[in-house]
């Protein structure tokens, strides 16, 4: 072979899998980005996520970096339909590590990643934003922003009161008989800007008979960093999480309420596979991670009282596709008396949030949110229920964009179960 068009380099760098593609196109039929922008997701004849991977070696990263290498949502919708089971999103995350930081991320996204790495800073920012909201400054500042940023305001949730953003106790005792002991992963945004969801989850677990340990210094899971190509930061955060949970041998599971964090933590074994000090510990850690819905279905949910509403459940990609958890949330909802659960047409639609994709590609992300909201609204729900912070905020953004007169409330599954199990007491 005289000219291999970059293939040997791809193999040497661990991307040879991209060239086992048989060009059947099945992945394109499932790719949300391709559905929205078509052939613009690609370069020349190399179309879609797989095409961009191949072109990165045949034509060079300089070309693909500017032509959508950051467009893969990591939704994993293309992996199952692929007859060769090519891990396109996994390779995208790794390939982004080869880009210079300046090419990888715009400034705003870099600020968000830096904040997520430092939960105390995120909490302090939350306090400041809360104060600004109380003084009416947030609305005033928002009104001075360029229209594009004003329109994205729903992506920043209303801040909870500072006492809600405070750390929970290190141990929370069960309400009623003790049945299980679990460790709880608090996360970055869930422990600060969306702290009410964490408190709701802790109450649901405690009412379901769990003693809950909440270790200090957990930090962020690193999912955002891994997805955006900041692999070094992602591995550092993963090691910190593993350290924080290392002395909790009495815990049956490490429970999370965030689909994105759960998917990332279940992949720590892979992320740290070549770290001799952490590879085994990462595998043991990943094996214990459970989504809250997954845990409650197996170990039992407290008695639920009535919630009289019509609800549609939206599957986050990182729960439904990445973790294969679709039945569990619906099973839990089916145990809430009075709740009528209806289905949207497209069960595997991506909301377009994908960590901070909405900040990096607001137009594509907004169009995905619009399509999703149109679909969800066709089910005429009073409540939209989901299990991931990014999806929750993205659906709220989509509803704001739709201009719906009386938009349904968008809540986390654990908030609904908190309401239901609290009502039963």
Name the site residues for ligand SF4 (rule: CB under 6 A): 21-27, 30-33, 49-50, 72-78, 82-84, 86, 88-89
Q: Are strands 46-47 and 42-43 parallel, antiparallel or unpaired?
A: antiparallel
Tokens (6 digits) for 112 = 């968000």
The pair phi, psi for residue 311, each rounded to 5°, is -125, 145
Sign of the Cα torsion 116, 117, 121, 123 reads positive
Task: Name the 3-class secondary structure at 149.
Answer: helix
Contact between 333 and 416 under an 8 Å Cβ cutoff? The reply is yes
Q: How many whole angstroms from its chain centre is CA 399?
A: 19
Closest approach of ligand SF4 to the CB of residue 61, in Å: 17
Closest approach of ligand SF4 to the CB of residue 28, in Å: 7
Closest approach of ligand SF4 to the CB of residue 83, in Å: 6
For 326, other C-beta atoms within 10 Å of its C-beta total 16
Closest approach of ligand SF4 to the CB of residue 321, in Å: 9
Q: Cα(48)–Cα(248) distance, rounded to whole angstroms? A: 43
Tokens (6 digits) for 59 = 């034509």
Q: Cα(134)–Cα(184) distance, rounded to whole angstroms? A: 31
Closest approach of ligand SF4 to the CB of residue 374, in Å: 20
Instruction: Tell me the residue nearest to ligand SF4 as measured from the CB.
Output: 49
Contact between 58 and 92 under an 8 Å Cβ cutoff? The reply is no
* CB closer to ligand SF4, 38 vs 306: 38
Closest approach of ligand SF4 to the CB of residue 84, in Å: 5
Closest approach of ligand SF4 to the CB of residue 98, in Å: 17
Tokens (6 digits) for 179 = 């049945």
* CB closer to ligand SF4, 31 vs 351: 31
Closest approach of ligand SF4 to the CB of residue 70, in Å: 11
* CB closer to ligand SF4, 40 vs 236: 40
Task: Name the 3-class secondary structure at 397.
Answer: helix
Contact between 226 and 237 under an 8 Å Cβ cutoff? The reply is no
E strand segments, 138-233? 171-172, 180-184, 210-213
The pair phi, psi for residue 189, each rounded to 5°, is -70, -30
Closest approach of ligand SF4 to the CB of residue 246, in Å: 32
Q: Cα(254)–Cα(265) distance, rounded to whole angstroms? A: 10
* CB closer to ligand SF4, 72 vs 220: 72
Tokens (6 digits) for 172 = 């929370």
Tokens (6 digits) for 33 = 């980005």
Q: Cα(214)–Cα(85) distance, rounded to whole angstroms? A: 37
């Amino acid at each position: 072979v005289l000219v291999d068009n970059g293939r040997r380099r791809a193999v040497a760098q661990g991307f040879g899998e991209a060239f086992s593609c048989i060009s059947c196109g099945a992945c394109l039929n499932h790719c949300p980005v391709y559905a929205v922008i078509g052939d613009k997701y690609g370069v020349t004849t190399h179309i879609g996520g797989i095409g961009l991977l191949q072109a990165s070696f045949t034509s060079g990263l300089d070309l693909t970096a500017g032509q959508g290498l950051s467009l893969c949502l990591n939704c994993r919708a293309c992996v199952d339909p692929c007859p060769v089971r090519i891990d396109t999103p996994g390779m995208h995350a790794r390939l982004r590590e080869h880009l210079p930081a300046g090419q990888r991320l715009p400034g705003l996204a870099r600020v968000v990643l830096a904040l997520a790495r430092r939960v105390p800073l995120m909490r302090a920012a939350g306090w400041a934003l809360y104060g600004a909201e109380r003084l009416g400054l947030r609305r005033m500042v928002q009104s001075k922003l360029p229209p594009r940023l004003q329109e994205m305001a729903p992506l920043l949730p209303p801040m909870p009161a500072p006492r809600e953003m405070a750390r929970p106790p290190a141990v929370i005792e069960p309400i009623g008989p003790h049945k299980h002991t679990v460790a709880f992963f608090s996360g970055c945004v869930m422990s600060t800007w969306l702290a009410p969801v964490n408190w709701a989850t802790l109450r649901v677990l405690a009412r379901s008979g769990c003693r809950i340990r909440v270790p200090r210094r957990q930090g962020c899971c690193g999912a955002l960093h891994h997805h955006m190509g900041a692999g070094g930061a992602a591995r550092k955060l993963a090691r910190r999480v593993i350290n924080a949970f290392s002395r909790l041998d009495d815990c049956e599971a490490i429970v999370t309420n965030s689909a994105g964090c759960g998917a990332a933590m279940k992949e720590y074994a892979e992320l740290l596979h070549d770290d001799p000090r952490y590879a085994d510990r990462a595998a043991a850690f990943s094996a214990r991670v459970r989504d809250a819905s997954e845990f409650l279905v197996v170990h039992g949910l407290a008695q639920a009282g009535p919630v009289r509403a019509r609800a549609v459940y939206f599957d986050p990609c990182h729960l439904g596709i990445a973790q294969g958890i679709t039945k569990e949330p619906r099973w839990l909802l089916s145990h809430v008396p009075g709740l009528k659960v209806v289905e949207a047409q497209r069960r595997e639609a991506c909301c377009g949030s994908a960590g901070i994709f909405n900040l990096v590609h607001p137009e594509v992300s907004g169009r995905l949110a619009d399509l999703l909201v149109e679909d969800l609204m066709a089910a005429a729900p009073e409540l939209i229920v989901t299990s991931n912070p990014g999806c929750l905020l993205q659906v709220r953004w989509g509803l704001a964009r739709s201009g719906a007169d009386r938009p349904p409330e968008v809540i986390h599954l654990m908030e609904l179960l908190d309401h239901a199990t609290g009502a039963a007491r």
